Every structure is written in C-alpha cells, then in structure tokens.
Chains A and B, each alone.
Chain A
C-alpha cells in the first residue's frame, strides 16, 4: 500500500497508479466525533487545489473537506454515504471520501509525510 501524504487541513492522500484516494485523518475524525452524514462530490467534477468539495457532518457540526490537489473526481465512496460511521472506525481505510485522477504527482509528493504531519499535530496540541 502506497504511503499517505497529509495536509494542514487534516486530509490524507494515497496515490496508487494515477489515482489519488482522499479522506480525513484519524486526528480529524477524532476531533469531529461521531460522523452522521457526508456530502460527496459527483464523478466527473473537476476540482481545484484547496477547493471545498465534500462536507462531513458530525453530531455537533458540519465541516468542509478540501481537495488536497487539483484533479477530476472518478469515484465517491458509496460505502461512507451509506454508513458514515466508517469515517470514525477506519478513517484511512474503508472511510475514504473520493478518488481523483489527472493529479500532479509532484504536488502530492510535496505534501507532508507521516512524520511531518505528526510533528504538525504536535504544534496544535
């Protein structure tokens, strides 16, 4: 499994071949609490880097999820639409949000790796 890259907005990206899978981090799901609803982008939508393209709703609040890199949505996760609790139980696995193609691999490589993200979380504590 390819390594994860992370954003300061607490999204993760996993690049496999030319498809980037995006979700929210364990820190993010823990901060949100019980997720009850997700609004996901439709396949075919072009998204810009940093564009709000999904919404995750917990019992207490709604939060935007941003595209970590530009690309075109190829698939959204029907599994989390059906069962949003997967985002809490398996945020970097079955709890993924959507997949992008036509992404800039260098832009993904420039995001934080696991150690850098862990260090970033330390600065928030």
Chain B
C-alpha cells in the first residue's frame, strides 16, 4: 500500500469548493486537482451513471473558439476530420495530427454558426493551441476560453432531467449542439459525452458554474461522479484516452479511428502527417487498437505485455481495469495486425504470469446514443 504524497501546485476548477462539500476525494490529474470519486465510490458512481445520470466536472479540458472566414479550412490543415462539411448545430470527433502522422490530441469541434467551438484534452491543450495558431491565415483567430467551465451530465436520465430546465435540449440528437439558457445561465449544450450513454456536455461561464452544477444536482436521478467512474465508463464504451491509448507515435489508422477521417480528406490527403495515413490505408497498419477481454476476474492494466496464446509477444495493453457494468475485467491495446483478429486467444502477462484473454469487439457495453 503506497500513499500518494505529491504536493506540486495544482490548478483548481470553478467547482473545487463544491467537490469538497460533496466529499470528493481530490487527486492530481493533468495539472489539476480533480475528484476521483465521491462517497458513493467508483463502482456506485459508474453504475448510477448507466442507470440514471452522473454529473462530471470536466472543466480541466481546454475550450476555445475559432473565428473568421476560412476557419474550418484552416483547421483541416491539422486534422483529417471533415470540418468544412460540419453543418451549423453539429459537432464532430477528430484528431489533431503531428508532422509524422501521429496523434497530437483528440478533440471535439462544433459549428456554432458564426464560429467553431473546440474542446481539447487538459493534458494537451498547451500543445494544441500553438499548433492550431501556427496554421491560421490572416483573419482567422483562435480564442482560448479559460473563463468557461465544462460540465457533463451522462446517463439515460440525463437529457430528461436537464430538459426540465431547458426543454429545447431534448430536441438535440447525438452530436447536436446549441445555445440555451439553463436556470438563467447562458450555456452551450452538446448531446455528446465520454461514457457511451446518452447525455450532454455543457459549457458555462466559470463564475456561474457552481450555481449551474447545483441546479443539475437538484434534479431527480442526478449524482456527482468522479474521474474514476469516467475512466471505467469510457473504457467499457471503447473510447480512447489520450496518453494511454493515443499518443504522438500512434496514427489514426492504428488507433482504429479511420471513421473520423472525412471521405473527401481521404481523397485529397491534404492534412499534416497525411503520408503515413495514406501508406497505412493502402498497405495496412503495423499494429491495430483492439478490445481485449481477460478471462476470469483479474484485471490486466495498462502496459501489460500481450502474447499470442503460448507464443511470442504481439503487443501491449494501453488501458485496462474492471468494468462495473460488464462485471468483469476489460481492456484495450495495440496488437500486431496479424494477431488482431476477432476472438484470437492471448496471454496477458500480469506480474510474470500468463493470464488468458482474447481479442474482443468494442464497445464492451453497447452505446446508447440518441441518434
């Protein structure tokens, strides 16, 4: 049993005092002090989110707007997502590329009509912002929005709950986005999230974030949920975590994110790092991100070496843990392409012992988006 005694200076989100009031256990994450769990516990918060609604503070994430004629075309220099085809009121998932075809970050981009709205990872925003600024032509501006909080309400009861405060939210479909006034607070609401459940992510002014969160917590079925549940929920949903499952060495083809590359973009290959993406689309990637299901009860965590059953090393787990809804261990990782076939038997080398597992389809828990 080891104690974490790290005492570096951590940033706080606008909900820091609310987290303490709710009994949140604060841990360092991406330079912020964040609640890993509340008194209900990770398991309870996870299961509650799948059954009703969990409220997550994700204000550590980077928010920014891109303004000006040609903003979408400019962003396309860095991402293979089709940003120009994104209609007003719609949001899309994409990756930002490195020069060598790796992934600088994964992100959300939305068309708010008069501007693009971006959500970036907390751990990467300091790199993303200069990378985006470097490709902007005269007349396009990137405005970071450090004075905004981001709050996710996720689960099958989430939209019905928040729609009691702003009925129009129920009209959004998955990846729809709009501006609403909720409990008197101006908000940007997208029907999206990181749990595999229906729900919303809501951007509000930082100085009104606590009042907003309290208004949501007062709704029936809403419980606060921490980063621990957020991680187990996204893992069951097969969603990547930057730094675990994606990094500057992984390409979008290897990461099985080809669906995020627009068709037009796959013809033109006019984005940073496109050579590698084109080569891997033509000839297949060397390795591929897949789901991995350990047999039995023992979790296999990130960095666990993976062998073909009774054979040689074929890859590594990048995210692994216990899936409360699956009620068993779940994982994902990168395997040599030849080994990455459905149901292929594997040995997961946990603490020197071979734990049997197999390649499994993602997600482990079916997505329940409001398409």
Contact = CB atoms under 8 A, between A and B. Distances in A.
A59 B228 contact: yes
Q: Which of A10, A11, A36, A61 is packed against the most chain B CB atoms within 10 Å?
A: A36
A11 B1 contact: yes
Contacts, number: 58
Given A28-B1, A65-B1, A33 B301 contact: no
Contacts of B41: 33-34
B42 A33 contact: yes
B322 A59 contact: yes
Interface residues of B, number: 22
B155 interface: no
B20 to A, nearest CB: 15
Nearest to B299: A57
B165 interface: no
A24 interface: yes
A4 interface: no
Interface residues of A, number: 24
Contacts of B231: 60
Given A34-B43, A37-B298, A37-B299, A59 B1 contact: no
A69 B43 CA distance: 33
B283 to A, nearest CB: 38
Given A34-B41, A36-B297, A37-B299, A59 B324 contact: yes
A60 B321 contact: yes
Instruction: Identify whether the interface residues of B are mostly helix, strand, loop, or mixed.
Output: mixed
Contacts of B351: 39, 55
A62 B37 contact: no
B110 interface: no
A37 B297 contact: yes
Interface in A9-56: 9-11, 24, 28, 31-34, 36-37, 39, 55
A9 B322 contact: no
Nearest to A28: B1
A95 to B, nearest CB: 14
B1 A57 contact: no
Contacts of A58: 42, 322
Contacts of B3: 31, 124
B321 A59 contact: yes
A58 B324 CA distance: 11
Interface in B296-324: 297-299, 301, 321-322, 324
B301 to A, nearest CB: 6
Contact of A33 (B2, B37, B299): B37
B1 A31 contact: yes
A60 B1 contact: no
A62 B301 contact: yes
B111 interface: no
B1 A36 contact: no
A24 B228 contact: no
7 contacts: A10-B1, A24-B1, A33-B42, A61-B301, A62-B299, A63-B2, A65-B1
Interface of B: 1-3, 36-37, 41-44, 46, 228, 231-232, 297-299, 301, 321-322, 324, 329, 351
Given A33-B228, A60-B42, A60-B228, 13 more contacts: A32-B1, A34-B41, A34-B44, A36-B299, A37-B297, A39-B351, A58-B42, A59-B232, A59-B321, A60-B231, A63-B1, A63-B2, A124-B3
Which are the 3 A-B pairs with shortest beta-carbon distances? A34-B43, A36-B322, A10-B1
